[in-house]
Homo-oligomer: A and B are copies of this chain.
């Protein structure tokens, strides 16, 4: 049995080379750039007014006379008027500054009578209220670096320089296979021995939480051949997640089925609670996670391990790790890392009740998983712990 750190290192070590793809900019939210993007144009593409006001040449003004307004330019238009000494042009926000003007005075700071304006802004300087061409980004300069995640503002920024496509890291294709002959669907009669299937719907939601729609969610009975066929049909996926049948009981057929499918076992069993029977393997193409069947173990192993593999494809850290002080004492056994359902507060993080691996009532209201180290047995209020944010 290996430790949690060893298990995580194996997953990182066996991570696949990320794929890239070209995406429409408007569909690229949350993806990570696989290329450094250079500015396609100067932005702004031309000198323009930052205000509604009057544009004029500062050096061509005698610093005392009123200015004569000789024309107007609005955003989206062009104006080829030339101003002589002490002349101005009415201008609006975003409108291109006519060639020989270099200064704009806000409309609130002039007194206008007919076509004459008196300037009332004592702080006005040459260049005031003009946004110079290229002052945001110069054509050819780095706009966004490779490995930058695309946020809404980043998308708006790239659109503003004429980008409509970007090359990003692809999301992995993920298949889910649920095993267990005890599982029935909502609405079916709950005979003794049967339980409602919840891991398929829970994993689908968890995958959506990290932006992935599973390519398939299959449910199979505890029959070696059926499990084997289900695995074989999904081997073109990047990641296969199985649940159930991974312990050492006579009906724990998943490791055997994986072996028959040519999956190379990397590890089986981790010194942790919940999720001790966790299995990780690979083929030349796919990474395979076989999780135990208990719902809380499934969700814990997903967040702690499967997301790590997903991140290696998307090159994006989906879940944040924090170091926070505990708000309650906790005693545990030595030899196992514990992942406890927690809730962050203003003062730190609280360990919730109902921590057993088959219990989800605390998990349903948790916003984090608290990691308690293998060798430590006594945790006191105020002790700093590592917390994985899951909501």
A155 touches B202 (CB 8 A): yes
With contacts A136-B359, A152-B209 taken as known, whether A160 is within 8 angstroms of B295 at the C-beta atoms is yes
Q: Which of B157, B183, B295 contacts A363 (CB 8 A)?
A: B157
Tell me which residues across on chain B come within 8 A of A153, comparing CB atoms: 202, 206, 295-296, 299, 360, 363-364, 366, 390
Contact call B299/A156, Cβ cutoff below 8 A: yes
What is the CB-to-nearest-CB distance from A363 to chain B, in angstroms, rounded to a whole number? 4
Q: Take A107-B249, A186-B163 as given contacts and tell me if A156 and B360 are in contact as well, using a CB distance cutoff of 8 Å.
A: yes
The stretch of A11-19, A87-95, A167-175, A256-264 in contact with B is A87-95
Q: Is the CB of A156 within 8 A of B202?
A: yes
Residue of B nearest to A148 (CB): B365
Query: Contacting A195 at CB < 8 Å: which of B160, B248, B249?
Result: B160
Q: How far is the CB of A93 from chain B (nearest CB, A)?
A: 6
Does any Cβ of B come within 8 Å of A191's Cβ? yes
Chain B residues in 8 Å Cβ range of A143: 361
With a cutoff of 8 Å between Cβ atoms, the chain B residues found around residue A154 in the complex are: 360, 363-365
Residues of B within 8 A of A356 (CB): 131
Contact of B364 with A157 in the complex, beta carbons under 8 Å: yes
Which among A92, A187, A298 has the highest number of chain B CB atoms within 10 Å? Answer: A92
The answer to whether the Cβ of A204 comes within 8 Å of any Cβ in the partner chain is yes
Please indicate the chain B residues that have their CB under 8 angstroms from the CB of A203 in the complex: 152, 156
Q: Identify A180's interface contact among B76, B208, B251, CB under 8 A.
A: B76
Q: Is A149 an interface residue (CB 8 A)?
A: yes
List A161-198 residues whose CB lies under 8 Å from chain B. Answer: 161-164, 180-183, 186-187, 190-198
Q: Is the CB of A201 within 8 A of B45?
A: no
Complex Cα spacing A159 to B41, Å: 53
A342 contacts B by Cβ under 8 Å = no
In contact, B209 and A136 (Cβ under 8 angstroms)? no
- Residues on B with beta carbons closer than 8 Å to the beta carbon of A198: 156-157, 159-160
Count copies of this chain in the complex. Answer: 2
Q: Is the CB of A391 within 8 A of B149?
A: yes
Is A124 an interface residue when CB atoms closer than 8 A count as contact?
Answer: no
Docked pose: A52 CA to B206 CA in angstroms: 28
Interface size on A, residues (CB 8 A): 92
B364 & A44 in contact (Cβ 8 Å cutoff): no
CB-defined contacts of A148 to chain B, threshold 8 Å: 364-365
Q: How far is the CB of A175 from chain B (nearest CB, A)?
A: 17
- CB of A374 closer than 8 Å to a CB of B: no
CA A25 to CA B137, docked complex, whole Å: 47
Q: What's the nearest-Cβ distance from chain B to residue A361, in Å?
A: 6
Q: Kindly list the 5 A-B residue pairs having the minimum CB-CB distance in the complex, ordered from nearest.
A: A156-B202, A76-B182, A52-B249, A76-B181, A154-B364
Binding site for B on A (CB under 8 A): 25-26, 29-30, 41, 44-46, 50, 52, 74-78, 92-96, 107, 131, 135-137, 143-144, 148-149, 151-164, 180-183, 186-187, 190-199, 201-206, 208-209, 222, 247-252, 293, 295-296, 298-299, 302, 354, 356, 358-361, 363-366, 390-391
- 10 residue pairs A–B, Cβ–Cβ below 8 Å: A52-B252, A77-B193, A78-B192, A107-B248, A136-B361, A155-B205, A156-B203, A156-B298, A157-B360, A161-B196
